[in-house]
Amino acid sequence: MVIINLVKKKKKSEREGMRLGKYDLGRTLGEGNFGKVKFARNTDSGQAFAVKIIDKNTIVDINITNQIIREIATLKLLRHPNVVRLYEVLASKTKIYMVLEYVNGGELFDIIASKGKHIEGEGRKLFQQLIDGVSYCHTKGVFHRDLKLENVLVDNKGNIKITDFGLSALPQHLREDGLLHTTCGSPNYVAPEVLANKGYDGATSDTWSCGVILYVILPGHLPFDDRNLVVLYQKIFKGDVQIPKWLTPGARNMIRRILDPNPETRITMAGIKEDPWFKKGYIPVNPEDEDVYVDQEAFSIHEQPNEAEQRNSGSPSLINAFQLIGMSSCLDLSGFFEKEDVSERKIRFASNLSVKDLIERIEDTATEMEFRVEKKNGKLKVIRENKVHKTLGCLSVVVEVFGISSSLYVVELRKSYGDGSVYKQLCNKLLNDLGIPPKQPLVRSAAN
């Protein structure tokens, strides 16, 4: 579809903002890394909306194209009073415009931060709506995977609206074992089985996150919290939660059954809805059916390659904080992102050099030390062979670059086989050539 003058400034005054088709765009409601959310009003009906404006070039640059497409595809499926409604998606050559339901009460996070804990009856009502919305998503095959207070909005009538489905998963994201394997979410809300990195059920992990939200709604603080990530995850794995005795037995039992660290025995969504404490005053709501218009121009962007294509392209693999943690054995982050003993088979270090510069410097160092360099599947293979002595001086090392953000990368060197002393020489020279200090606190670098 060709869009002509989709967005144009009104001539009358700057205060009237911009026009997007039948919508007048007004004040900015929020701003993120890849665009803005603006207040909008339908010029025909006068109804208020929120328009998420996404810059196509920006989402390609920061590598979240698939995340935006996934969010749009997911929201197209969902028509429920407790899920933020997507009405239509418009586009120009450079922008995507998601016309969303306007929720004027703000985030549940801000409400609890200012008001504190809810009385049990009010908290139960919010929790009932949360479970209604999340369980509905599950019936549509949608697993949110990032449920937290910041992603739950509240309207002026006190009704919740679940939002931000950028990390959601659909049935096609399940592997052959029927489980999800991408480690994602927010640390304080993530289920232990997600951290275990062995595959997890999306519905069961979402249930855990709902339990964390319930806990915050009632006592007014997080059930699992610590400034040290290792300690935090240990608490989550153990289900180490202190439930206030002043809560009613029904509320305490509900929290305990949801925050069960064993996903096999954790209460299900169906079980929650049958619980006597939950059912008190419960009035289920009905989903609604309505088509969503999506302008195909919204998808005329350079989509990210899939994982296999990305490896073949030579681009660095992107990893998030959870995957970084998974790379470190036993969640011991104390020495993670520090230069490891080069006598070991593997070292990792961080750099803010560009991928191009990193690859070039690694190749130069290897070539200078008379190694042969091969490129395959986005990795470098550094090889030295001794034709006279099959073991003396021989070495094979795989070098891989992982992207943390647009300006921070982790380089991993893995010795496949060969002479340990030569490996040590290679690592020391490479670190020296790249200007890596003897001790590099990469945890802090990643956070910055």
Binding residues: 52
Helix H or strand E encompassing 317: strand 317-318
Q: Which of 132, 146, 295, 419 is catalytic?
A: 146
Cβ contact 433:365 at 8 Å: yes
Beta-carbon count within 10 A of 379 CB: 17
Beta-carbon count within 10 A of 60 CB: 15
**Per the annotation, where are the binding residues for ATP?**
52
Helical spans, DSSP H, in 259-393: 269-274, 276-279, 307-313, 321-327, 355-368
Maximum Cα interatomic distance, the chain, rounded to a whole number of Å: 84
CA dihedral of 35, 36, 37, 40, whole degrees rounded to 10: -110
Known catalytic membership, residue 146? yes
Q: Which of 394, 401, 402, 400 is nearest to 423 (CA)?
A: 394
Cβ contact 277:124 at 8 Å: yes
Beta-carbon count within 10 A of 183 CB: 20
Q: How many CA atoms lie within 13 A of 162 on its CB side?
A: 35
Q: Alpha carbon of 18 to those of 11, 21, 32, 41, 397: distances in Å?
A: 10, 10, 20, 11, 56
Which residues are the active-site residues?
146
